[in-house]
A and B are shown apart, each in its own frame.
Chain A
Amino acid sequence: MDGRQKGGFRPVHLLLIVPFVGCLWVPFYNRALPALAGIPFFYWYQILWVALTALILFIVYVAEGRE
């Protein structure tokens, strides 16, 4: 007995690794092109990942509700 909550982990939680890869693998997005409405790739890609992180959290939240 180590105080670990039983049934806390579900496979859908693996999705939560994705934002770390998307946000932190810097060499992938460290470029200016393609720009979006004049905003270099480096910047709009990271703002897009804020939205995608929220979307992934939402998917996990909904999936957790269906136990």
Chain B
Amino acid sequence: MAGLDPMALGVFIALFLLVTVLGFFAARWRRGDLTQLSEWGLGGRRFGSVVTWFLLGGDLYTAYTFVAVPALMFGGGAVGFFAVPYAAIAYVFMFLAFPRFWSVARAKGYVTGADFVRGRFGSRSLALAIALTGIVATMPYIALQLVGMEVVLAGLGIHGEWPLVIAFVILAAYTYASGLRAPAMIAVVKDVLIYVTVIAAVIVIPMELGGFGKIFAAVAPGKLTLPTDALANPGAFSYATLALGSAMALFLYPHAATGVLSASSRHVVKRNAVALPAYSVVLGLVAFLGTMALAAGVKAMPQYADGFKTFGNNYAVPALFLHMFPGWFVGVAFAAIAIGALVPAAIMSIACANLFTRNIYREFFKPDCTPARESQVAKIVSLVVKAGALAFIVGGQATAAIELQLLGGIWIIQTLPAVLLGLYTRWLHPRALLLGWIAGMAAGTWMAGASGFKAAVYVLHIGGLDLPCYAALSSLVLNLIVSYALSLLFNALSNTRADQTATEDYA
């Protein structure tokens, strides 16, 4: 594997120290009473358009994204590009539904999606299901951020678990101290580094490799586009369902809700739905890095053989940067990815902590707990969540984390009827929603299990057709059918609701 490059390592460590200082300093930024959950866990709901743009950009486009999307392009070709249409249409959902979510959360003091479901449908069990889904879908996502960090550390020539442990202990300490203000501030550095790295990469590397024409000529002809048979697997149909299902799932993740609710107004949310696609353009360019790695032929080079052996295709981007860039810029690029792991890891652990504190601890154990106690519990849970993710990766369970994250997407989409449709209607019956959730969770998990949790696409046999469909989408359809059909029945039996929200709360 690559030896230590002092220049790369020096730049990397300097940038890492910079964000550490920022992380602790953030507690003083727009100072608020951090013993309140909405201050620690939502930054006081005071972030304007620009900070929210950086925060959500840093939150949604994670280190693992920047490693795994090019890795998919490197290995699978065209099919890996579904992340781009996904990252376009997700913002249509954000634009339409999430200003309503922001408004009702502000009016009623909700901190999580499960808070909203509890208030809207008056069902503790449904809210618990939503909260647990959020927590179990997010935990492996945090673990994957560590995988992203591990890959670039190995690229720098740093091995063993201790650097990962140190990075996470520092992260845990400033998240504990500063709450959501820390990742919001660090996100600015992260995003600037990512933009610089990606823009430099898409200018310099194609020049070195003789242009995009030559780069794409390195892709096997069968992988340059999808098979012409739309129902092939992978094919056009599975590609479209992956993009649509992922787009519907994205804003249901707790860390997305945390980012949205920290905005200072519903207009900030709307403006960001318009402005955030700028990151998706960058994501498209990041995907090309996988193709560039293919054209550069890094996999055949002996100095990267160990990296590919350990990390598989996830090593494509680090190998490409090491091969193409001078040492100091490798330091910048790798710092961009590593810091890109810290921001979402912090927000995700805060989101899990908010869910546990609000929807499990206060709901079931301490209904009369004080706001200060609530904030204290959340801080401790954010530590526990990060320790769990760290133990998972240090324990060598990276493959399990990837499989669980794949399942996480299928699970989180099952909260769509209660959370997203709940923003528009309370006609759905909470018991029907809960049974729909159970049906969707079971069917989705079973479909992913049919491939040994390796593939998210499951082939449905409908009327003599073989439809390869993203399991999240097909299980969501089942969930919706159950939710609507049983709501008809339950509403006919007893149509009483305990809705704490009023129409004007959503405007």
Partner-B contacts on A (CB < 8 A) = 1-6, 13, 16, 19-20, 23-27, 30-32, 35, 37-40, 42-43, 46-47, 49-51, 53-54, 57-58, 60-61, 64
The answer for the CA separation of A40 and B171 in the assembled complex, in Å, is 41
In the complex, the answer to whether A3 meets B89 with C-beta atoms within 8 Å is no
The answer for the CA separation of A49 and B84 in the assembled complex, in Å, is 9
Encoded as 1 (CB less than 8 Å from any A CB) or 0, chain B from 351 to 389 comes to 000000000000000000000000000000000000000
In the complex, the answer to whether A30 meets B95 with C-beta atoms within 8 Å is no
Shortest distance between the CB of A3 and any CB in chain B (Å): 4
The answer for the CA separation of A57 and B277 in the assembled complex, in Å, is 10
In the complex, the answer to whether A3 meets B84 with C-beta atoms within 8 Å is no
Q: Which residue of A lies closest to B84 (CB)?
A: A46
> B273 on the interface (CB 8 Å rule)?
yes
Q: Which residue of B lies closest to A13 (CB)?
A: B96
In the complex, the answer to whether B87 meets A38 with C-beta atoms within 8 Å is no
In the complex, the answer to whether B100 meets A5 with C-beta atoms within 8 Å is yes
Q: Which residue of A lies closest to B219 (CB)?
A: A40
A-B contact pairs, 14 of them (CB 8 A): A3-B503, A4-B424, A5-B503, A6-B503, A16-B95, A20-B92, A26-B240, A38-B211, A39-B288, A50-B277, A50-B280, A50-B284, A54-B278, A61-B95
Q: Given A2-B427, A6-B503, is A49 in contact with B100 using a C-beta cutoff of 8 Å?
A: no
Q: Determine which residue in B240, B284, B506, B507 has the highest number of CB atoms from chain A within 10 A of its CB, and name it.
A: B284
- Range class of the B interface residue count: 35 or more
Encoded as 1 (CB less than 8 Å from any A CB) or 0, chain B from 257 to 279 comes to 00000000000001101110110
The answer for the CA separation of A4 and B501 in the assembled complex, in Å, is 11
Task: Note all chain B residues with C-beta closer than 8 A to A40.
Answer: 216, 224-225
Partner-A contacts on B (CB < 8 A) = 78, 81, 84-85, 87-89, 91-92, 95-96, 100, 206, 211-216, 224-226, 228, 230, 236-237, 239-240, 243-244, 270-271, 273-275, 277-278, 280-281, 284-285, 288, 424-427, 499, 501, 503, 506-507
Which of B85, B226, B230, B424 is the one whose CB lies under 8 Å from A23? B85
In the complex, the answer to whether A3 meets B426 with C-beta atoms within 8 Å is yes
In the complex, the answer to whether B95 meets A60 with C-beta atoms within 8 Å is yes
Task: Note all chain B residues with C-beta closer than 8 A to A24.
Answer: 85, 89, 240, 243-244
Q: Chain A interface mostly helix, strand, loop or mixed?
A: helix
Task: Note all chain A residues with C-beta closer than 8 A to B215.
Answer: 38
The answer for the CA separation of A2 and B95 in the assembled complex, in Å, is 22
In the complex, the answer to whether B236 meets A27 with C-beta atoms within 8 Å is yes
In the complex, the answer to whether A35 meets B213 with C-beta atoms within 8 Å is yes
Q: Which residue of A lies closest to B210 (CB)?
A: A38
Q: Given A24-B244, A46-B84, A50-B88, is A2 in contact with B281 using a C-beta cutoff of 8 Å?
A: no
Q: Given A32-B225, A57-B273, A58-B274, is A39 in contact with B503 using a C-beta cutoff of 8 Å?
A: no
The answer for the CA separation of A13 and B99 in the assembled complex, in Å, is 15
The answer for the CA separation of A53 and B92 in the assembled complex, in Å, is 8
In the complex, the answer to whether A47 meets B240 with C-beta atoms within 8 Å is no
Q: Given A50-B277, A54-B277, A58-B274, is A43 in contact with B501 using a C-beta cutoff of 8 Å?
A: no
The answer for the CA separation of A32 and B223 in the assembled complex, in Å, is 11
Task: Note all chain A residues with C-beta closer than 8 A to B211.
Answer: 37-38
Which of B91, B212, B226 is the one whose CB lies under 8 Å from A53? B91
Task: Note all chain B residues with C-beta closer than 8 A to A23.
Answer: 85, 88-89, 243
